[in-house]
A and B are shown apart, each in its own frame.
Chain A
C-alpha cells in the first residue's frame, strides 16, 4: 500500500507541473485556436531566469526563502514579457492567415528560443540551487513525499484557484470568456480583443514560469532543452482534458501524471510514454473532444 501512495504522489507532483504548463496551452487555444508550440520554451526561459537570478542573489547573504520568492517573481515577470513579445512578433501578424501558418511560426519560434538560450548561455546541464528547505513536519513521510513535491502540489492548487477566480469574476476574465466564445461578437461589444489576447499570453506564461521554477528546484538541474518534452506532455494533457477547458487541462495533466507513474511502477518505464499516448488515443476515440471538452455540433 505504501508503494501505491509513493507512486500516487510521484504522479501527482508530475501532474501538477504538467497542469501549470497545460493551462497556458489551453487558454491560448481557447482564445485564438493556436497550438502555441513555443510555450514549452517559455517554461524553460522561466527556469533559466530563475537560475540566473538565484546565482546573482547568492552574492548577497539573503535567507533562502527570500531568494525563492524573489526568484519566482522575477521568473514570472520575464516569462510573461517573453510571452507577450512572442505573441506580438510571431502570432499577431498572422491572425487572419491560415491557422497552420501560425502553427509553423510557433514551431520556428520554439527552435529559435531553444538556440537563443543555448548560444547565450550553455548546452550543459546546470545545477539549480536548492531553494526549499526540508520541512520538519514532513520528515517522517519523506519517503512518500518530498518537501519540494509538497510545494509543487500546494502551489499548483493555489494557482489553479486564483486563476479560476480571475476568469470567473474579473472584468478581464469575463472578456476572455467572451472572446473565446465568439471573437467577432466580443469585438462588436467593445471588448479590446488585442488586449485580451495579450493578457492571455501573459497569464499563461506566468503559470509556465511558476512551473519552471518549481520543477527546477525539484530535480535540481536544467538545460536549454527541458521545455521541449515538458511542452509536448503538457499539450497532450490539455487535449486529453479537452482543449480550451481550464478544469479539463488540470484533470488531463493529473491523469497523465498518474498514468506515467503507475505504468512505471507496476509495468515498465520502458513503455511509460507509449501507455500515455495510448490512453490519449483511447479517450479521444470515445470522447472526441477530450474529457471535459465541449461537444460542438458543427453548424451547417
Chain B
C-alpha cells in the first residue's frame, strides 16, 4: 500500500512538472502580461494523484482478466447471449426497430437531425469497414469519396436541376469510380505507404474543390440544394423525418450487403488478402481485382452518403471534407471493432452522438472526446465488439450431413 502511494506521489509530481508552463503560466505577449495560476498546479497534482490509482487499478484488472480467460467477455456476452440466442435476439431487434421508427414521434426535430447524422456515419463506417476491416487496406482519405458523392448531387442539382433520385445512383457510381482511380496507383503499396497516399488523395480532392472555383464554387460552397422529393408535398419537418427514414432504410441495406459479402467468395478473398498477401496469391486469388473491388465497394457507400448529406444540409463547402473527418470515420471502425458490423454501428453512435450530448461541457468537449479515444483504445484495443471469426464445426456438420444422407437414403 505504501509503495502504491509512493508511485502515485511520483506520478503527481511528474505531472505537476509537466503541465507547469502550460497550465500555470499564461503569458500574453500582446499585452505583455503574465498571469500565474497556481491553483491549476494544485488541481493537476491532486487530480493526477488519484487518477494514477484508477489507472493502475484498471490496468491490473485488464491484465488479470486476460490471464483468466482468453475470450473477450463483452464480445462473448454480445454474441452468445444476443446474436446467437434467437429468443433474445428477435425481440430485441423488433423493439429496436419499433423505437427507431417511432423516434421522430417521440423526440424533437433537432434530435431527428442529429440521429440522421449518426445513421449517415453508420453507413460510412460500414463502407470503410470493408476497406480497412475486411481487406486490411488502411485508408486515411475516405472522406474524398464522400465529397465526390456530395458534389455530384450538388452540382447536378445546381446546374441541371437533376433530382436527388437520379443523382443518388450516379453519386454512388462516381464514388466507386474514384475508388478504382485511387486503387490503381496504390496497388503495389503496403501498409503505411498506402495510408499516406490515401491521405494525400483526400487532400488533393479537397484542395481541388477549394481552388477550382469555376466549377465547384470554391470555398463559398453551393447553397440551395434541393431536399429529396418523396413524391408528396412535405413540410420541412416532414421532409427531415422522411430523410431520417430513408437513411435508416439505407443503413439496413448496407448491413445486409456487407453482412452477405463478408461470407461470400469476394469477402473471404478480402480477409485472406489481409492476412497474407503472398499465400493468397498462391491460392489463385486475383490480387488486383480483389483490392480494387474493396476500394470500389467501400467508396460506393461513401458516394451514396455524400449525396444524402448534400440533400440533408442543402449546403456544402469543402470545409466539411477535411482530414479530421476521415480520421473520425476511421476511429468509428477501429473503436467499434475492426471487421465487426455491430461494433461499427456502436462506434458510430458513440462517436457522433457523444460530442452532441457533450455540448453541456461546451469548450471541454473536444478535450474529453480526445481523451476518451485514447482511453478506449488503451483499455479495449480490440474495439468495443470484436469481430467474430467464422469457425467450422466439423462434428455438427457431419451430423447434419449424416441426417441429410439418411433422409436421402430413406426416400
- Are B381 and A97 closer than 8 Å at their CB atoms? yes
A290-B327 Cα distance, complex, nearest whole Å = 24
- Are A126 and B25 closer than 8 Å at their CB atoms? no
Encoded as 1 (CB less than 8 Å from any A CB) or 0, chain B from 7 to 19 comes to: 0000000100111
- Are B192 and A116 closer than 8 Å at their CB atoms? no
- Residues of B within 8 Å of A109, CB to CB, are 370, 374
- Residues of A within 8 Å of B373, CB to CB, are 104-105, 107-108, 111-112
The verdict on A89 contacting chain B, using a C-beta distance below 8 Å, is yes
- Residues of B within 8 Å of A74, CB to CB, are 21
| Binding-face segment, B104-112, B312-320, B331-339 | B331-339
Question: From residue A95, how far is it (CB to closest CB) to chain B in Å?
Answer: 10
- Residues of A within 8 Å of B190, CB to CB, are 288
Question: From residue A166, how far is it (CB to closest CB) to chain B in Å?
Answer: 25
| Binding-face segment, A117-125, A141-149, A156-164, A172-180 | A117-125
- Residues of B within 8 Å of A239, CB to CB, are 192-193, 196
| Binding-face segment, B146-154, B243-251, B288-296, B361-369 | B361-369
The verdict on A259 contacting chain B, using a C-beta distance below 8 Å, is no
- Are B203 and A277 closer than 8 Å at their CB atoms? yes
- Are A97 and B18 closer than 8 Å at their CB atoms? no
Which single member of B192, B277, B378 contacts A243 (CB below 8 Å)? B192
Q: Which of B18, B21, B371 has the most CB of A within 10 A?
A: B21
The verdict on A53 contacting chain B, using a C-beta distance below 8 Å, is yes
- Are A281 and B197 closer than 8 Å at their CB atoms? yes
- The interface size bin for chain A is 35 or more
A85-B14 Cα distance, complex, nearest whole Å = 9
Which single member of B22, B132, B193, B367 contacts A48 (CB below 8 Å)? B22
- Are A110 and B370 closer than 8 Å at their CB atoms? yes
A280-B202 Cα distance, complex, nearest whole Å = 13
- Are B26 and A298 closer than 8 Å at their CB atoms? no
A113-B203 Cα distance, complex, nearest whole Å = 23
- Residues of B within 8 Å of A127, CB to CB, are 29-30
- Are A274 and B204 closer than 8 Å at their CB atoms? yes
The verdict on B262 contacting chain A, using a C-beta distance below 8 Å, is no
Q: B25: nearest residue on chain A (CB-CB)?
A: A52
Near B by CB (< 8 A), chain A positions 255-282 give: 270-271, 273-274, 277-278, 280-281
Q: Are A101 and B377 CB-contacts (below 8 A) given A51-B29, A243-B192, A284-B189?
A: yes
Q: Which of A55, A58, A74, A114 has the most CB of B within 10 A?
A: A55
Q: Are A55 and B27 CB-contacts (below 8 A) given A107-B331, A300-B279?
A: yes
The verdict on B278 contacting chain A, using a C-beta distance below 8 Å, is yes
The verdict on B23 contacting chain A, using a C-beta distance below 8 Å, is yes
The verdict on A82 contacting chain B, using a C-beta distance below 8 Å, is yes
- Are A271 and B363 closer than 8 Å at their CB atoms? no
- Residues of B within 8 Å of A6, CB to CB, are none
- Residues of A within 8 Å of B19, CB to CB, are 120
Q: Are A236 and B196 CB-contacts (below 8 A) given A82-B18, A115-B366, A120-B22?
A: yes
- Are A104 and B334 closer than 8 Å at their CB atoms? yes
Question: From residue A228, how far is it (CB to closest CB) to chain B in Å?
Answer: 9
The verdict on A78 contacting chain B, using a C-beta distance below 8 Å, is yes
- Are A285 and B188 closer than 8 Å at their CB atoms? yes
- Are A100 and B23 closer than 8 Å at their CB atoms? no
Which single member of B18, B323, B334, B370 contacts A232 (CB below 8 Å)? B323
24 A–B contact pairs at CB < 8 A? Answer: A33-B192, A45-B22, A51-B27, A55-B25, A55-B27, A55-B29, A100-B334, A105-B374, A107-B373, A108-B373, A121-B22, A122-B26, A129-B29, A232-B199, A232-B203, A239-B196, A271-B207, A274-B203, A274-B208, A274-B211, A284-B185, A284-B189, A284-B193, A284-B197
Which chain A residues have a beta carbon within 8 Å of chain B's beta carbons? 29, 33, 35, 45, 48-49, 51-56, 58-59, 74, 78, 81-82, 85, 89-90, 93-94, 97-98, 100-105, 107-117, 119-122, 124, 126-129, 232, 235-236, 239, 243, 270-271, 273-274, 277-278, 280-281, 284-285, 288-290, 298, 300
Q: Contacts A108-B374, A284-B186, A298-B277 given; 5 further ones with Cβ under 8 A?
A: A35-B195, A100-B330, A104-B377, A115-B366, A127-B29
